[in-house]
Every structure is written in structure tokens, then in C-alpha cells.
Amino acid sequence: MAGAIPFTCFMQPIPPMLEMRGICKTFGTVRANRNIDLTVERGRIVGLLGENGSGKSTLMKVLFGMVRPDAGTVSFNGHALQSHSPGDAIRAGICMIHQHFMLVEAMTVLENVMLGWSRAGTILKSIEIAKLIRTASKEYGLELSPKTRVSELGFGKRQRIEIVKAILRGAQLLILDEPTSNLSPVEVSSLFQVMRAFAAQGRSVVFISHKMGEVLDLCDEVVVLRAGEVTHRGPVQNATRADLARLMVGREISLSHVSETKVRGSELMTIEGLTLIESRPPIDGLSLSLRSGEIFALAGVDGNGQLELIETIAGLRRASKGKIILNGREITPLRPEARVAAGVAYIPVDRANTSLVPDMTVQDNLAFRDFNRPPLRKGIWLDKNAFLTRARTRIQQYQIACPGPQVAAQTLSGGNQQKIVLAREVGRKPTILLAFQPTWGLDPGATRFVLDEILALRDAGAAILYVSSELEEVVMLGDRLGVMFNGRLIGVSNRNELSMAEIGLLMSGDERTLS
């Protein structure tokens, strides 16, 4: 096997921590990985950039032994990993932290760390392990207390439990899959500190992302994947955002330029004293108005009441108090169906189960918020021809890449799934569009498409409430913006009135900037 690593063995006496060479994997007609090399040196943070479907996950699955490569070798710390199982990879010291955590909410931090770990003993050595957690927590600045219940912790802290698990179990190589998706800017920067401390000890990190800014910020090297091939590798010092974006997508995409609104008309929707007692955090007397031809961007870390607010406007939740007025007509008592008919469109963040029904057809998915009124309903029957006609039009109009209206939505890529949602909600020409992180998990190409459609809707005179936890998006899109913190709407301002740093502080609840 020594002959399989001809290039590095004479350059360095110590082999790199991870060396993947010539990885090829084909699924049917899709060449997910074509001859990919990935080298991770000790103490380095390597960014793996790529769109959805560029082969990042396949490569990681190969590394973990979840997928057998058609060709290629993997060696870790100088030992070949061949036909290995995920268990072998973990024992060798590779640890992956997924977007969705594997934690038991009802248990404490300590119990979660001990869960499934043989070193915790047959009779659990709680005191000893708790001490280990405290030590590691201090060393890396994780601020975790072993006795806290997971259910009481926010997303950022939960992620740290996964990191402490990896550290205690002796991980040499930590792989983070899109770790910043749900973090506030403050949490992101402290995660980066943890990563740097980890790397400073001679261990390594692979940071999977499609956010160029974060990769440039954190990583030592960057590897860009496109359509299963490496299009770029090198130190981050020489790279710019624009370069990376082009390398990732294969064409010029400007993500930063968004024109300001040209039409800013009358108030379309007013929300007065909206109160939700049962939501966590409770919303107490929130007021907001949305004007024709503008995007109101609502920033905030997830879980500060944005979801509750937007669901109440969409009619999925009942307000305890307050009024929602659309075009002079109170819609507070209306059911969701009636609100759709009144012109309220809503793009929820959860594509997996809410905005799409994965095992129903594209055609049904394009119809499922309007099926109960003409033209889709005719008397007591559903008009299947109307379903089909609408589906064909929308597929063409929104360039949804699918074999036909009758295939299940789950067979489509994430970007095309979001196009279905967009086609359904925007295609109805709504007066108000509520969009909850509509670009979440999308690659730059699909992101641009979604944003363009939303901007077109704005310029046609609709009002848009755009919720996002990504600072850049909020600043770029919002003709006006505000921040949700702990159920309150703060920092409402016009475009360019607040700096990114100020909004970041507001998102973490620091209102000093406002005074």
C-alpha cells in the first residue's frame, strides 16, 4: 500500500493527517466524485466549499466508510482505511458533527456525553466524566456545565456538546457540516475560536460550507468542489470571495447587488398590538406595518419569536390579542385557506415536511395550498386537468428541473424543491409574501433565483416580510429592517441606517447601539 502515496512520502517524513487520493464514485449516471484528492495536514483548518450536489457529502461518506468508492485510497495518520465501517473511522479518530445533532433533549450534558461511550464505564463514572467536561470546557472556552439539561440549551450550546463529545473521545480530525447555519454572528465567532484552539493542538478540522465569507475568515486552506471535481485548492490568503463564488458555481454570480426599491407605496398590512401568550418567548404587543413595494427584513437568531410571528400572520397560529389588517380589512379571524385567498403567501423554512409534501407529486405540491377553490376545485371534484395545466405552466415559468409533473417531489434537488414552493406561493401573485429563510441550504445559483423572484414580486408592488438569521442577507435585501430578540421587535430602521456590526449586536440582545 505504501506505493499508493508516491508524492508526499519523500516530501515529508510525517504523513499528513488525512490523505484521500483519486476518489471516484458514480451513482447511476451521476458522477458524484471524479478523481478527488483531499489532503489535510496536522493543525490545519481546511474549508470544503461547494454547492448542493457538488459531491461534498459523498466525499465525506467515503471517508466515513458509509459509501464504497469505485476507486481511490484513504489514509489517515499514515494508515490505510480500506473497506472500513463508520465505527472504524471513529475509532481511528475522525469525528463528524452533522447539521442535525444526535442529542437526547431530556438528558443532561453529562449524560449525553456518556451515552454510548465505553469509557464512561459499565457503572457510570459520572464524577470523573463531569470533571473531564469541565476541564475541556475551560480549555476551549465552551462554557458548558455538565448538569444542564439539553432541552434548556440553545442551538449554539448544543453544538458545543457535540464538540466536547468529539474532543473527549480523542478526535484527531473534526468534520463540521454547515455548522453555522443556525448561529448568531456572536456564536459564529466563538465557534471559530473553539476551532482555532482545536487546531492549535495539532489536530485538524474540515469545515464544510457554502458560505464564502466564513471560509475565508476561519480556514487556512480551501478546497472548492464543483460537479464532483476539485476546481480549486490553495491557501485562503490568495483567494477572494468573487473567485471562490465563480469557482463554485462555474459562472459569474453577483450575490451582493440588490437594487433598492423604486416604488414605495401605501401601507398594505398593519399589525397592531399582536400578542401571543403561549409562544416561547411570548410576544407582547408587537406592531409592524408593511408597505407596498418594499422588503421588510427581519433579522434575529432562530427561536426569538420570528417563526411565531410569521405563522400568526399566515394564520397557522391564533393570536391571543391584537389585529392584523390587510388592505383595510381585518383578517385576524380568517383561517389559513381564507388568508391565502386574501393574498397572503407564505414560504416556510422547513422544506422537508412543511412547505413540501415530499412523497406527493410535483403537481400536487404545486396545488396543495389552493386545492379547495377554483380553478383547482370544480364542484365536489378536484379538476385534475387544472392541476396538470397549472403544473406545466409553473414548471416552465420557474424552470423547475423535473422529469414531469407526476414525479414525487422528493426526487428533486433542494434548489428545485424550493422552486416548487416559490412557484406556488409567488406564482399566485400575492399582496403579501412572508418568507422564512427562503434561501436556507440553497447553493448560490438557486439562492440568486429565489432572490430575483422575490425582488420581482416586490417591484410589482407586493410587500415582503423576509425573515433571516443571516446578517448579510438582511442588510442586502431589507428596504427596511428590524431585529427580533426575545419576542420583541427592536431596531426598526431604513436601509443603511444601521451597520452590520450594530445589527449583529442587536441580534444578541444588546440594545446599547440604539441609544
Partner 1 sequence: MKTVAGKSVPETRAGDSLWRVVNKGSSFNRLALSVLAVLAAFAFTAVPISLSGKNPAVAYWALLRGAFGSVDAITFALNKSTPYILAGVGVAMCFRARIINIGGEGQIAVGGIVSSWIILTFPDLMSSVLIPLALVGAALAGAVWAGLPAMMRLRRGVHEVLSTLMLNFVGTLLVGEVLNGTMGEPGAGFPQSPLFPESGRLPILLPQTDLHSGILLALIAVVSCHFVLWYTPFGFRLRVLGSSSSAAIYAGISLSSTFLSVMLLSGALAGVAGGIEVMGIHYRLIEGFSSGFGFNAVAVALLGALNPLAILPSGLFFGFLEAGSLAMQREVGVPSSLVYVIEGVTMICVLCAMGFIGPRSRS
- Which strand ranges, in their side-by-side order, compose the sheet holding 488-494? 344-347, 432-436, 463-467, 295-299, 480-485, 488-494
Distance CA 194, CA 353 (A): 33
Per DSSP, helices labelled H in 205-305 are 212-218, 241-249
Q: From the CB of 356, what's the least distance to partner 1, in Å?
A: 7
The dihedrals phi and psi of 184, each to the nearest 5 degrees, come to -80, 160
Q: Given the rule CB under 8 A, which of 228-236, 283-291, 302-310, 381-389 is the region that contacts partner 1?
A: 381-389
Q: Given the rule CB under 8 A, which of 174-182, 238-246, 257-265, 332-340 is the region that contacts partner 1?
A: 332-340
Decide if residue 408 touches partner 1 (CB under 8 A): yes
One-letter amino acid at 354 equals: T
Minimal CA–CA distance to 402: which of 423, 385, 386?
423
33-62 binders of partner 1 (CB under 8 A):
35
Contact map string, positions 15 to 34, toward partner 1, x by CB under 8 A: -------x-x-xxx------
Distance CA 328, CA 313 (A): 15
- SS3 state of residue 449: helix
One-letter amino acid at 134 equals: R
Q: Cell numbers at residue 510, please?
A: 444588546
CB-wise, 344 or 507, nearer to partner 1?
A: 344
One-letter amino acid at 86 equals: P
Q: Given the rule CB under 8 A, which of 103-111, 144-152, 318-326, 369-377 is the region that contacts partner 1?
A: 369-377
Interstrand relation of 377-378 and 381-382 (parallel, antiparallel or unpaired): antiparallel
Decide if residue 342 touches partner 1 (CB under 8 A): no
One-letter amino acid at 349 equals: V
Q: From the CB of 299, what's the least distance to partner 1, in Å?
A: 24
Q: What is the dihedral of CA 451, 456, 459, 465, to 10 degrees?
A: -40
Q: Given the rule CB under 8 A, which of 149-157, 308-316, 439-447, 455-463 is the region that contacts partner 1?
A: 308-316
The dihedrals phi and psi of 419, each to the nearest 5 degrees, come to -65, -35
Decide if residue 425 touches partner 1 (CB under 8 A): no
Q: From the CB of 280, what's the least distance to partner 1, in Å?
A: 18
Decide if residue 386 touches partner 1 (CB under 8 A): no
Residues 125, 323, 377, 428: which binds partner 1 (CB under 8 A)?
377
Decide if residue 66 touches partner 1 (CB under 8 A): no
Q: From the CB of 30, what's the least distance to partner 1, in Å?
A: 11
- SS3 state of residue 424: helix
Minimal CA–CA distance to 330: which of 351, 350, 344, 345?
344
Cα angle vertex 487, ends 483, 493, to 5°?
A: 25
CB-wise, 413 or 486, nearer to partner 1?
A: 413
Decide if residue 389 touches partner 1 (CB under 8 A): no
Residues 147, 384, 396, 456: which binds partner 1 (CB under 8 A)?
384
Contact map string, positions 347 to 366, toward partner 1, x by CB under 8 A: -x-x--xxxxxxxxx--x--
What's the N-to-C CA distance of the chain in angstroms? Answer: 66
Decide if residue 140 touches partner 1 (CB under 8 A): no
Please work out the total of residues on this chain that contact partner 1, with binding judged by CB under 8 A: 45
Q: Which residues contact 262 (CB under 8 A, 6 or more apart)?
A: 293, 459
Cα angle vertex 475, ends 244, 350, to 5°?
A: 80
CB-wise, 232 or 377, nearer to partner 1?
A: 377
Decide if residue 73 touches partner 1 (CB under 8 A): yes
- 293 within 8 A of 461, measured Cβ to Cβ: yes
Residues 371, 392, 428, 490: which binds partner 1 (CB under 8 A)?
371
CB-wise, 21 or 495, nearer to partner 1?
A: 21
Other C-beta atoms closer than 10 Å to the C-beta of 39 total: 18
Distance CA 353, CA 369 (A): 14
CB-wise, 310 or 446, nearer to partner 1?
A: 310
Decide if residue 410 touches partner 1 (CB under 8 A): yes
Q: Given the rule CB under 8 A, which of 206-214, 234-242, 311-319, 507-515 is the region that contacts partner 1?
A: 311-319
Decide if residue 64 touches partner 1 (CB under 8 A): no
- 40 within 8 A of 18, measured Cβ to Cβ: yes
Decide if residue 405 touches partner 1 (CB under 8 A): no
Q: Given the rule CB under 8 A, which of 52-60, 65-73, 168-176, 393-401 is the region that contacts partner 1?
A: 65-73
In the complex, the residues that contact partner 1 under the rule CB under 8 A are: 22, 24, 26-28, 35, 68-73, 314-316, 335-340, 346, 348, 350, 353-361, 364, 368-369, 371-372, 377, 380-382, 384, 408, 410
